[in-house]
Chain A
Amino acid sequence: MQHYLLKGLRYLLVLPLVCLFVAGAFAQGITVQGKVTDQGGVALPGVTVLLKGTTTAAPTDIDGNYSIAVPGGSGTLVFSYVGFQTLEVPINNRTTVDVQLGSDARALDEVVVVGYGTQKRSDITGSVASVPKNRLSNLPVTDLTQAIQGTTAGLNITQGSSVPGSSGGMRIRGVNSISARTSPFIVVDGSPFFGQMNDINPNDIESIEILKDASAVAIYGTRGSNGVILITTKRGLSGQPRISYSGYTGVEGLSNKLTPMSPDAYVQKFADYQRAQGLTLTQVLPNTFEVENYNAGRVTDWLDEATQTGKITEHNLSITGGTDKVNYYLTGGYLNQDGVVKGYGFQRASIRSNLDATITSFLKAGTSLYFADHNSDGGRANMLNATAMSPYGQVHNDAGGFEIFPMFPELLFANPLLGLTTDRVDRRKLITGTAYTELSPGFAKGLKYRLNASYTYEIGRQAGYTGRAGNNMVGAAYANNNETNNWVLENILTYSKDFDKHHIDFTGLYSAQGTDYFRSGAEANTFINDELSFYNLGAAENRFSTSESNRTNLLSQMGRINYSYDSRYLLTLTARRDGFSAFGANTNKFGLFPSMAVGWNIANEAFMQDVSAVTELKLRFSYGKAGNQALDPNQTATIYNPVRFPFGGASSVGVLAARLGNPDLNWETTTSANIGLDYGFLQNRIRGTVEVYNAKTEDLLLQRQIPNISGYSSVWYNLGEVRNKGVEFTISTANIEAGKFRWETDINFTRNKNEIIELYGDGQDDITNNWFIGRSLGAVFSYNWLGVWQEGDDIPATMNARPGDLRFEDVNGDGRITGDDRMYLGSTLPKWYGGLTNTFHYGNFHLSVFLQTSQGSMKSNPDIFYGDEVGKRNIPAEVGYWTPENRSNEWPSLSYRNPHGYNFARDNSYVRIKDARLSYTVPQDFLERFGISGLTIYTAGRNLYTFTKWVGWDPESTHLPRGSTSGSDSWVNNYPLVRSVSFGLNLTL
Chain B
Amino acid sequence: MKKYIRLFVCACIGLQALTACDDSFLEEELLNSYSPTNLRDLPGLEASVIGLYNHNSTFHSVSWAQGWVSVWQVGTDIVWPTQPQGMENPYFDYNTLTPLDGAADHTWNWSYTMINNANVIIQNVESPDLTAIADADKNRINAEARFFRGLAYNILATAFGGVPLITEPLTVPRTDFVRAPLAEVNQVILADLQFAAEHLPDIADLPANRHARANKYMANQLLAEVYLRVNQPALAEAQADVVINSGRFNLIKTRYGVKANQPGDPFSDMFIYGNQRRSQGNMEAIWVMEAENPRDVPGGMTDAPQHRRNWGASYHSRAGMLPADSLGGRGISRMRLNNWVLYDLYDAGDMRNSKYNIRREFYYNDPKEQYSNIYKTKVPYEGPDTLFIINPYITKWGHFDPQDVFGYGMWKDFILMRLGETYLLKAEAQFKQGNLAGAAESINELRRRANAPLVSATDITLDFILDERARELIGEENRRLTLMRTGTLVDRATRLNTNIPGLPANRQIQGLTQTHLLLPIPQNEIDLNKDAVIEQNPGYIR
Contacts and interface: CB of A to CB of B under 8 A. Distances in A.
B348 interface: no
Nearest to A277: B384
A819 B100 contact: yes
Contacts of A633: 28
A652 B46 CA distance: 10
Interface string B290-305: 1110011111111000
Interface string B47-78: 11111111101000000000000000000000
A363 B8 contact: yes
A640 B34 contact: yes
A711 B116 contact: yes
Contacts of A512: 18-19, 25
B119 interface: yes
Nearest to A363: B4
B216 interface: no
A271 to B, nearest CB: 15
B25 A646 contact: no
A489 B15 contact: yes
A549 B31 contact: yes
A89 interface: no
B1 A711 contact: no
B234 to A, nearest CB: 34
Contacts of B177: 707, 709
Given A643-B54, A646-B291, A646-B299, A658 B33 contact: yes
A708 B112 contact: yes
Contacts of A715: 173
A645 B34 contact: no
B525 A655 contact: no
Contact of B290 (A279, A637, A648): A648
Given A525-B295, A555-B25, A582-B28, A654 B115 contact: no
Task: Choose among B31, B49, B322, B330 the residue with the greatest number of A CB atoms under 10 Å from its CB.
Answer: B31
Contact of A640 (B16, B36, B98, B100): B36
Contacts of A652: 50
Interface stretch (A40-48, A371-379, A539-547): A539-547
A580 B1 CA distance: 39
B18 A489 contact: yes
A783 to B, nearest CB: 15
B164 to A, nearest CB: 5
A656 B54 contact: yes
A550 B25 contact: no
Contacts of B527: 764
Contacts, number: 245
Contacts of B316: 409
Contact of A474 (B54, B112, B295, B322): B295
Contacts of B29: 551
Interface stretch (B205-213, B420-428, B431-439, B483-491): B205-213
A641 B524 contact: no
Interface residues of B, number: 98
A360 B25 CA distance: 36
A638 B290 contact: no
B4 A359 contact: yes
B370 interface: yes
B384 to A, nearest CB: 6
A812 B23 CA distance: 58
Nearest to A476: B295
Nearest to A511: B19
Interface in B83-133: 86, 89, 96, 98, 100, 108-109, 112-113, 115-117, 119-120
Contact of A555 (B1, B19, B44, B290): B19
Nearest to B108: A708
B136 interface: no
A411 interface: yes
A670 to B, nearest CB: 22
Interface stretch (B219-227, B252-260, B400-408): B400-408
B12 A581 contact: no
Contact of B26 (A292, A589, A640, A643): A589
A642 interface: yes
Contacts of A660: 170, 173
Contacts of B30: 634, 637, 639
Contact of B33 (A292, A580, A639, A707): A639
Nearest to B169: A711
B134 interface: no
A598 to B, nearest CB: 33
B457 interface: no
A902 B468 CA distance: 43
Contacts of A459: none
Contact of B403 (A473, A549, A658): A473
Contacts of A705: 524, 528
A660 B36 CA distance: 10
B529 interface: yes
Contacts of A134: none
B495 interface: no
Given A282-B382, A451-B11, A544-B298, A710 B35 contact: no
B33 A645 contact: no
Contacts of B100: 819
Nearest to B405: A411
A634 B504 contact: no
A611 interface: no
Contact of B32 (A439, A544, A547, A651): A547
A925 interface: no
Contact of B384 (A279, A439, A641, A649): A279
B365 to A, nearest CB: 12
Interface in A885-899: 897, 899
B296 A647 contact: no
Interface in B201-247: 207-213
A555 B33 contact: no
A439 B317 CA distance: 80
A542 B382 contact: no
B166 interface: yes
Nearest to A654: B50
A118 interface: no
A794 interface: no
Interface string B510-538: 00000000000010110111100000000
B109 A640 contact: no
Contacts of B383: 279-280, 282
A643 B120 CA distance: 16
Given A282-B382, A646-B299, A648-B209, A709 B166 contact: yes
B150 to A, nearest CB: 16
Interface string A681-707: 000000000000000000000001111
B532 to A, nearest CB: 10
Interface string A141-175: 00000000000000000000000000000000000
A707 B51 contact: no
Given A654-B47, A655-B48, A709-B164, A647 B212 contact: yes
Task: Choose among B296, B330, B405 the residue with the greatest number of A CB atoms under 10 Å from its CB.
Answer: B296
27 contacts: A292-B370, A491-B15, A544-B298, A553-B26, A555-B21, A580-B26, A634-B28, A637-B30, A640-B35, A643-B55, A644-B299, A645-B50, A645-B53, A648-B207, A648-B210, A649-B209, A651-B297, A654-B53, A655-B50, A657-B113, A657-B120, A707-B174, A707-B529, A709-B166, A709-B174, A768-B524, A897-B86
4 nearest A-B residue pairs (beta carbon): A711-B116, A644-B299, A648-B209, A654-B50
Given A648-B290, A651-B292, A899-B86, 12 more contacts: A451-B12, A549-B31, A555-B19, A555-B26, A634-B31, A639-B34, A649-B290, A656-B55, A707-B174, A708-B525, A709-B525, A710-B112
Interface of B: 1, 4-5, 8, 11-12, 15-16, 18-19, 21, 25-36, 39, 44, 47-55, 57, 86, 89, 96, 98, 100, 108-109, 112-113, 115-117, 119-120, 164, 166, 169-170, 173-175, 177, 207-213, 279, 290-292, 295-302, 316-317, 319, 322, 330, 370, 382-384, 402-406, 504, 522, 524-525, 527-530
